[in-house]
Amino acid sequence: MIVQQFTGFLWGTASTILGGLALAFLFFLAREKWFPPPTVTGRWHIEMRFHRSSFKPYNNMKLRYVAMLWREGNCVRGTAEKVYEDSSTGKRDYVGNDRTRSVIDGHIDKRIFSRDRVTLHIVEDGHGRESTHFHDLTVQRNQRMNGTFSAMAADAEGEAIWQRESF
């Protein structure tokens, strides 16, 4: 009688442990294979469309950047360079030393039932003044992210488009 109870206890414990391991494996598989984080590593082309600014010449301005991002877990890091401007003073391409550089830090908010979100803090070392942008993006697919930006320079706000292909 005691041997049967002990054997039943061992089988119950073993089946609970195996069930827990199987469940842990399924969660791992779901996280890594079925719902992986978005592929943000690589080159991105960015267009910022200014919709509101306290400095009138910035209204309706478009800026373009090229960024290189890499992902470390849910953290995103990278750099960017301004390559184009379309403003009230005209259109211009930036090359070589005329490009301003930026440092990017951010985070991926992994979602199961809706699109993943990426938030980025960008510090641009402009000519004569450092400025900050904050981008709140929704991953459309691994080739595109759309959202909004808010910039400290002239209290600007607008639309941010990130895509793999050049504009």
SS3 sequence of 107-166: EEECCCCCCCEEEEEEEEECCCCEEEEEEEEEEEECCEEEEEEEECHHHEEEEEEEECCC
C-alpha–C-alpha distance, residues 37 and 21, integer Å: 23
In terms of domains, do 18 and 32 share one? yes
In terms of domains, do 29 and 71 share one? no
In terms of domains, do 80 and 21 share one? no
Q: The pTM is what?
A: 0.81
Question: Is residue 11 very low, low, confident or very high in pLDDT (cuts 50, 70, 90)?
Answer: confident
Question: What's the confidence (pLDDT) of residue 32?
Answer: 66
C-alpha–C-alpha distance, residues 103 and 81, integer Å: 9
| Domains: count for the chain | 2
C-alpha–C-alpha distance, residues 67 and 157, integer Å: 20
In terms of domains, do 21 and 94 share one? no
In terms of domains, do 57 and 120 share one? yes
In terms of domains, do 149 and 100 share one? yes
Range of the domain at 85: 42-163
CATH (domain of 121): 2.40.128.120
C-alpha–C-alpha distance, residues 42 and 116, integer Å: 18
Q: pLDDT digits over 25-52, tens only?
A: 777 776 667 777 889 999 999 999 999 9
Question: Is residue 124 very low, low, confident or very high in pLDDT (cuts 50, 70, 90)?
Answer: very high
Q: pLDDT digits over 106-118, tens only?
A: 999 998 889 999 9
Give bridge partners of residue 127 from the DSSP assignment: none
